[in-house]
Amino acid sequence: MTDSHLPQELEEQAAAYALGILPAEDQTVFVKRVALSKNGLGAAARAFQTVVEQLGFGVPTIEPPAALRERVLAHVAREADREELTFQSMADHLSFATPPVTPPTSLRSRLLDRVRNETHLPERTLPPLTFVRASEGTWQEMAPGVTAKILHFDPVSRRATALVRMAPGSVYAPHRHAEPEEFYVLEGGCFCGGQELAVGDYHRAEAGTEHHDTSSDDGCLLLIISSPQNEMLG
C-alpha cells in the first residue's frame, strides 16, 4: 500500500486505524507512535486515511426498492415506539414504587391555583389497543426478593396493573392501601391477610385496610392492580 519500509504489523495497524476497526485499547498506543514516529508511520496513516475517505465517492448511489425502503422505515418506527414504551414503563414504575411525599402548603397552593387557571389542560391519549409481550417491559426491584413489571398505569385513577414476582422466602413490607388493591395468584403461592393463597386464588383489600404479613415460602407470581400511593408502615 505505501512506499515506506514499515514493518507489516505497523502498516496493518495504520490501515485498521483509518478504517476505524483498530481495537480501542490499541488506538491510544498507535496515536502516540504516530506522534513520535520517524520511520514514515505518520505518512502511511495519512495515506490510508485518504484512501478510506475516497471509498465513499467511488460507490454509485443506489436507490433502494420501495418495498425495502418501507420495511426499513417501519423498523425505525417500531424501534422508536419501543424506546418510548420502555421510557414510559420506567416512569410509571418510579411513580408506582416511590412513596408519596406531601408538598409544602405554599407549593400545593401555587400548584392548585395554576391548575384552576388553566383553561385547556393537555390530555394524555392512550392507544385503543395495548399489548405487552412476555419478553417486553422491565422488572424493577420493589423490595429484597420482590420485583415488579408495570403493564399499565392510569395517571387519572392513579392505579397500576403490574406483575409482581416474589422469590422464595421473600417478604413485602407492611402497608396501608390508599385505594382498593386486587391480586390474582398466577404461579406458586403466598401468605397474605392471614390466608394461604394458591394458584387461581383472588384477593381484594379495600381502601384503608392494611397488609402486615405478605410473604412467600416457595415463591410466586401475582397479577396486582393497586395504587402507588399506598402508605408504607415500616
Look up the domain containing 217 and give its range.
Answer: 63-98+136-234
Over residues 54-66, the mean pLDDT reads 71
pLDDT-derived band at 185 (thresholds 50, 70, 90) equals very high
Pair 141, 50 in one domain: no
Please state which of the ranges 34-38, 56-60, 73-77, 198-202 shows the lowest mean pLDDT: 56-60
Pair 30, 144 in one domain: no
Asked if the structure places residue 110 within a domain, the reply is no
Asked if the structure places residue 161 within a domain, the reply is yes
* pLDDT at position 32 over 90: no
What are the grid coordinates assigned to 124, written together?
A: 394524555
Pair 149, 52 in one domain: no
CA–CA dist 177, 232 (Å, integer)? 9
Pair 159, 230 in one domain: yes
Pair 49, 70 in one domain: no
Pair 48, 70 in one domain: no
Burial 136-168 (b: 16+ CB within 10 A, else e): ebeebebeebbbbbbbebeeeebbbbbbbbbee
Q: Are 98 and 232 in contact (CB under 8 A)?
A: no
Pair 42, 81 in one domain: no
Over residues 193-209, the mean pLDDT reads 94
* pLDDT at position 86 over 80: no
Phi, psi values for residue 176, rounded to 5°? -110, 135
Pair 172, 85 in one domain: yes
* pLDDT at position 105 over 80: no
CA–CA dist 48, 17 (Å, integer)? 9
The whole model's pTM is what?
A: 0.50
Q: Strand order in 175-176's β-sheet?
A: 210-211, 175-176, 231-232
How high is the pLDDT of residue 215?
94
Number of domains in the chain: 2
Pair 52, 76 in one domain: no
pLDDT-derived band at 82 (thresholds 50, 70, 90) equals low
Asked if the structure places residue 109 within a domain, the reply is no
Asked if the structure places residue 105 within a domain, the reply is no
Asked if the structure places residue 145 within a domain, the reply is yes
Decide: helix, strand or coil at residue 116.
Answer: helix
How high is the pLDDT of residue 181?
94
In this structure, what CATH number is given to the domain that contains residue 73?
2.60.120.10
Pair 54, 74 in one domain: no
* pLDDT at position 170 over 90: yes
Asked if the structure places residue 45 within a domain, the reply is yes
Pair 142, 94 in one domain: yes
Asked if the structure places residue 130 within a domain, the reply is no
Asked if the structure places residue 140 within a domain, the reply is yes
How high is the pLDDT of residue 213?
85
Give tens-digit pLDDT for 109-139.
777 777 666 655 555 566 788 898 998 888 9
Pair 37, 93 in one domain: no
CA–CA dist 39, 42 (Å, integer)? 8
Q: Are 181 and 204 in contact (CB under 8 A)?
A: yes
